[in-house]
Every structure is written in structure tokens, then in C-alpha cells.
Amino acid sequence: MEKLFLILLLLSSCSLLVSSANASAIFIFGDSVFDAGNNHFNKNCSAQADFPPYGSSFFHRPTGSFTNGRTVADFISQFLGIEFQKPFLEAQLAVVNGSRKDYPSNGINFASAGSGVLQATNPDWGVISIQQQLRQFQALIQQNQIDKNLVQNSLFLVESGSIDIFNYFLPYDTPTLDPGAFVQAMLTEVGDLIDQIYKLGARRIALFSPGPVGCIPARALLPGAPVDKCFGKMNLMVKKYNKGLESLVTDMPIKYPGAASLM
Ligand SMILES: *[C@@H]1O[C@H](CO)[C@@H](O)[C@H](O)[C@H]1NC(C)=O
Ligand SMILES: *[C@@H]1O[C@H](CO)[C@@H](O)[C@H](O)[C@H]1NC(C)=O
Ligand SMILES: *[C@@H]1O[C@H](CO)[C@@H](O)[C@H](O)[C@H]1NC(C)=O
């Protein structure tokens, strides 16, 4: 399954909020595309990338990131001239054991590989759901561990959904929803997440759209999936999901005054 994450990483598409060129912090939520080591610090989690060749081309050692090099969040940080964000669980450990006084001021990475936008996606792997990631962030705000002004000027990166759609086609879990209703349920969750992030003070939100998940090699293992071409049914769901994300983003400035968003 680890290979799957690596490939999903390459498929995710992105663009950058130009107005955030002066942001000094980034808060990150999502799956393996962004996970910088939360799963590594979560010993209960079976989705791990803490072995070679992960990390080989940039850090020259496995860091817990699901890529050989930097994540998109790392590249954006470099572009902004700020340090890479630490995994929340690493920062928390350091604050709890006294080796750090405060949480980092350049943002925090909450992403957990293998998680989806639906809570029902992969709980048996011990992943941190995106809803739980947001509760971790919320707790820090409530404990005044993160400055509210910092939050307002920070960039928020949200990327999730590939794993839910991939899992929809797994043989041992007959879906109760048809593909359209399943995608709608995902979009409802994303809408709720945006709503919560905004209420916690975020004003610059970048939603990342999953790439053509139906083209990853692992799709060939699924029942009914073609081996010699992409899995059309899966890509159709991704397309619908991305269309839904697009309208969420279009509606955001109307629904949420003062918010800038893009995908
Ligand atoms: C970024 O620039 C805007 C507009 O010039 C300003 O209002 C904001 O405070 C700046 N943010 C940071 C983090 O410097
Ligand atoms: C505290 O936690 C940090 C982060 O995991 C770790 O690097 C450091 O070695 C720990 N220090 C102690 C004294 O346990
Ligand atoms: C560890 O993972 C299992 C599933 O593998 C889960 O049921 C359990 O709640 C998790 N424990 C903790 C402490 O997160």
C-alpha cells in the first residue's frame, strides 16, 4: 500500500495563492500527499514510510514523508522562505517532554497518510482522520498555543479524497451509496471542514484536487478494473469530486467574507 501513496503524491495537482506570498506560516491537513511524519510518530499506525527509498533524494534518510523528496508543502515553504512545517505529533512530543517551549511559529503539519475525507476511511490502519486533525488544531487554538493573528495571515492547505474514492472499489466492502451519492457525501464533509477552518480564523485556504486516481498501478488489483488502461469508473468519481471542490471554492468568498481561496 505504501507504493500507492507515493504515486498518489505525484498525481495531485496544485497552484499557489499569490496573495499569500508573504504568509509566514502554513497549516496543513490531509493524507500522504502532505504527511511529513505524523504516522511515523503514531506507533499505532500501520501506514508507514519510514524506510528507504523514502526521503532518499532530498533528506537522504526516511523522514516519514511518503515521497523520495520534498512534499508540495515543502516546496511552497521554500518559495515563501520559511522552514518546513513539523508534524504535529513531533512538535507535541517536544512540547510535552520539555525540549521545546512553544509550538513552531512557521505552522504545523497535521496530515496523516491513508486518511480520507470520510471518517469511515481506513480507521483500522490507525490513521488520523482529517476531522481529528482539525480537532488537534482547534485544541491548540483553544489552549492559546497558536496566535490568532498568525492564523489569519497563514496559508491553509487541504488535500484529501483520493483514498476514499480508491477504497470505494475495494472488494471486501460493498458500498451502500451509489458513486454520485458517495461523492456528494465526501463533498458535504469537505464543506463542513472548510466551515470549521474558517470559524477557527483561517482566511487563506487552498484546496488541492486529487489527480486521476484510476490510473495508479494498484487499481489493476481491484475487481473489474482494467489492467492495460486507467479505471474509467474511478476517474469519473474523481472528476465529479473535483467539480464539486471547484464550486466550493467559487462559493467561498460569497459564503465567507474576507476569505481567499483557490484550488
Ligand atoms: C501580507 O501582506 C498584507 C497586505 O500587504 C498584510 O495585510 C499582511 O499583514 C501581510 N502578512 C504578513 C504575514 O506579513
Ligand atoms: C523530546 O521529543 C523530541 C521530539 O520527538 C525529541 O527529538 C527529543 O529527543 C525528546 N527529548 C527528550 C528529553 O526525551
Ligand atoms: C490503535 O489502532 C486501532 C486500530 O488498528 C484502534 O482501534 C485503536 O483505537 C488505536 N489506539 C489508539 C491509542 O489510537
Distance 40 CA to ligand 2 centre (A): 14
Mean pLDDT, rounded, of the chain: 90
Q: Is 132 in the pocket of ligand 3 (CB under 6 A)?
A: no
- State the pLDDT confidence band at 173, using cuts at 50, 70 and 90: confident
User: Which atom in ligand 1 lies closest to the alpha carbon of residue 23?
Assistant: 13
**Nearest listed ligand to the Cα of residue 127:** 3
Rounded CA gap, 117 and 139, in Å? 20
- Say whether pLDDT at 71 is over 60: yes
Atom of ligand 1 nearest to the CA of 154: 13
Beta-strand relationship, 26-30 and 155-159: parallel
Query: Could you tell me the pLDDT band of residue 253, with boundaries at 50, 70 and 90?
Result: confident
* Beta strand residue intervals within the chain, DSSP E: 26-30, 86-87, 107-109, 155-159, 204-208, 260-262
Ligand that comes closest to the CA of residue 149: 1
Domains in the chain, ordered, with CATH? Answer: 2-32+70-262 (3.40.50.1110)
Q: Is the pLDDT of residue 8 over 80?
A: no
* CA 61 to ligand 1 centroid distance, Å: 36
* Cβ(93) – ligand 2 distance below 6 Å: yes
44 CA to centre of ligand 3 in angstroms: 6
Q: How confident is the model at residue 113 (pLDDT cuts 50, 70, 90)?
A: very high
C-beta 228 within 6 A of ligand 3:
no
Query: Mapping DSSP to helix (H, G, I), strand (E, B) and coil, where does residue 70 land?
Result: coil
DSSP letter at 5 equals H
Ligand 1 centre distance from Cα of residue 177 (Å): 45
Q: How far is the CA of 129 from the CAs of 124, 185, 193, in angstroms?
A: 11, 15, 12
Going by alpha carbons, the residue nearest to atom 3 of ligand 2 is 94
Q: What is the pLDDT of residue 13?
A: 35
- Identify which ligand lies nearest to the alpha carbon of 39: 3
Would the pTM count as exceeding 0.85?
yes
150 CA: nearest ligand 1 atom: 13
* CB of residue 96 inside a 6 A radius of ligand 2: no
CA of 98 to the centre of ligand 2 (A): 8
Give yes or no for residue 43 CB within 6 A of ligand 3: no
DSSP SS3 for 233? helix
For range 137-162, the mean pLDDT: 95
Dihedral (CA of 74, 80, 83, 87) sign: negative
**Contact between 171 and 223 (Cβ < 8 Å):** yes
Q: Which ligand is in closest contact with the Cα of 17?
A: 1
